[in-house]
Amino acid sequence: MLSALEREASPSDAVLLAGLEAREVSALDALYLRHGGYALGVAHRILRDRAEAEEVVQDVFLQLWNATVRYDPRRGRFTSWLFVMARNRALDRLRQRGSRPQGEPPTGREGSDEPGAETRLLEAERRRRVIEALARLPGSQREALELSFYRGLTQSEIARETGEALGTVKSRMSRAMATLREALGGTA
């Protein structure tokens, strides 16, 4: 009898995740092929080190396979969950080595593991929508989010760096996230 994964030509993330729970290696392979580049980009932007970013992605997918971390579809999209997992693991690595990311983020894809054309188009569209939504935020809200997500600063550290009250930083970030959630149709 064929599994749902084997019956579908291009299974959804939900079908792949169900296959993962059934311990189907092909489901893990498909999820990695579909989203590994995205997770690598997130980790690499923070770490600025390709080898460390690859280790972070491997760790995230290994934990997903071993069910030491679980994705809950009621709490959001898989890609959002994966972004948070890759980001948090990368920030943990930075904290372990006692540093923050420096320099400009990478400008292009590295390596030879290029995703398919459809995946690249979807990623480009998602990126464009997020960039447009971020550009519409007031500068102070955008700055607070960027300091948090790309430099890994806590809200207290952002308050110190910007000279703003902690309550002001918390309010700005909350309003910014609500605005992004609305602009991106609840996917932020």
CB 38 within 8 A of CB 123: yes
Instruction: Extract the tokens encoding 60.
Output: 């995230």
Give me the torsion for CA of 112, 54, 29, 66, rounded to 10°: 170
Q: Whose structure tokens read 């972070």?
A: 56
CB 87 within 8 A of CB 46: yes
Identify the CATH number of the domain in which residue 173 sits: 1.10.10.10
Give CA–CA dist 159/168, Å, rounded: 8
Does any domain span residue 39? yes
Does any domain span residue 94? yes
| Structural domain that includes position 168 | 125-188
Number of domains in the chain: 2
Model pTM above 0.85: no
Per-position pLDDT tens, the chain of length 188: 444 454 456 788 888 988 888 889 999 999 999 999 888 988 888 888 899 999 999 999 998 888 877 777 777 788 888 888 898 899 888 888 775 554 444 444 444 445 556 666 666 777 778 778 888 889 899 888 888 877 778 889 899 989 999 999 999 999 988 888 888 776 54
